[in-house]
Structure 1
C-alpha cells in the first residue's frame, strides 16, 4: 500500500493560526493607541512650553503677567489690553498663532495668580483627553520640569488635579 503525504493544513490548524494573529494584532493595536494618546499629551505639553516662553517675553516688556480678565489673548492680540498705556509697551505678538483650545478642542484655562501649586505665578490647564476638569488626566504647566540636560521629568509632587481653579 502506498501512503499518501499530507499537503494541506487542517481546519483546526488554520483556526489556531488565525487566533494567534488576532491576539498579536490586538496587542499591537492597544500599544499603538496608547502611544497615540501619549503623543497628544506630549504635544499639549509642548504647547504649554511655547506659551510659557511667550509669557516670559510678555513679562520682560510689561513687568507683569496677563491678568485673568486679559487672559492669554494678550500674547497675540494687542486689542485685548485693558489699559492703553500698557498696550503701548507691548512688543508682541509673543505667539504667532492664537492658542485658545487644547489638543482635544476644550478651552484652555488660565489663572493669574496661580492657585494649583503654592506660590506659582500663573496656571495653564488643559482638561485632557476626557474633557473634564479636575480629573487625573488634566495637564498643567506645573506637572513637569526640565532637568539640567534639557530633558523633561515628571514632577511626582503634583497630582494633576485642578479643582482649585473653580469655574
Structure 2
C-alpha cells in the first residue's frame, strides 16, 4: 500500500498538473471557448479581407492611370515623329505594331512607342481612342478614355483625356503621388 501512495504523491508534484477539489485540473478548452476563439478569428479575417480588397481595387485604378499616362505619352511621341496623331483607323495599336501604320505614312519614321501591346485597360475593356477630340474645342487634341471598372460610359470611375484633374467630375484622374 505504501507503494501506491508514493506513485500518487509524485504525480501531484509534477509541474503542469495541479490538484483541484479532489481531481486533476483539466487542460483542455471547452467547446464554448473554442467557438469564441474561432468567432474572433473570423471577425478579424473579415476585416482584413475587406481592407485588402479595397486596396486591390485602388491599386488597379492606380495602375490604369499609369497605363493611361503611358498611352498619352506614346501618342505625343508619335505626333512628334509624324506631325499628327494616329488616325482612327490606325488607332493606338500603331504605337506597338508597325503594320497598323497608314501605308502612305513615312515608314522609316516609325518606331516602337510601347514595348507591350495595351489593347485593353485593367478591367479587360478596350481603350477608346479618337484622333480629333470631340470633347474639347481644341482640334489638335485627341480623345483617349477608359470606362473604368464598371465599363459604363459617363460614370465617375471613367478615366478620360478631356477633363482636367481640377474638374468637379474628377475627369482625367491624377497620377498617384510619387512620394517626393
Does the pair score TM above 0.5? Answer: yes
The yes-or-no answer on 1:31 pairing with 2:51 is yes
Structure number, greater radius of gyration = 2
Q: How does 1:45-60 map to 2 (within 5 A)?
A: 45-60=65-80
- Structure 1: how far apart are the matches of 2:122 and 2:65? 10
How many residue pairs were aligned? 150
Q: TM-score, normalised by structure 1?
A: 0.73
Higher relative contact order (Cα pairs below 8 Å, separated by 6+ residues): 1
The yes-or-no answer on 1:159 pairing with 2:169 is yes
From the superposition, tell whether residues 124 and 67 of structure 1 become closer, same or farther in structure 2 (CA, over 3 Å): same
Q: Cα RMSD (Å) of the superposition?
A: 2.8
Unaligned runs of 5+ in 1: 145-154, 163-167
Q: TM-score, normalised by structure 2?
A: 0.68
* Residue of structure 2 in register with 1:114 after alignment: 133
Unaligned runs of 5+ in 2: 1-19, 173-180
Shift of 1:158: 5.2
Q: Among 93, 105, 114, which residue is 2:124 paired with?
A: 105
* Residue of structure 2 in register with 1:147 after alignment: none
Shift of 1:97: 2.1
**Partner deviation per Cα, 1:1-31 (whole Å, 9 max, x = no partner):** x625453333222222211111110010111
**Partner deviation per Cα, 1:95-139 (whole Å, 9 max, x = no partner):** 122221112221111123234466482222222222333322222
Single out whichever of 116-125 and 48-57 deviates more from structure 2: 116-125
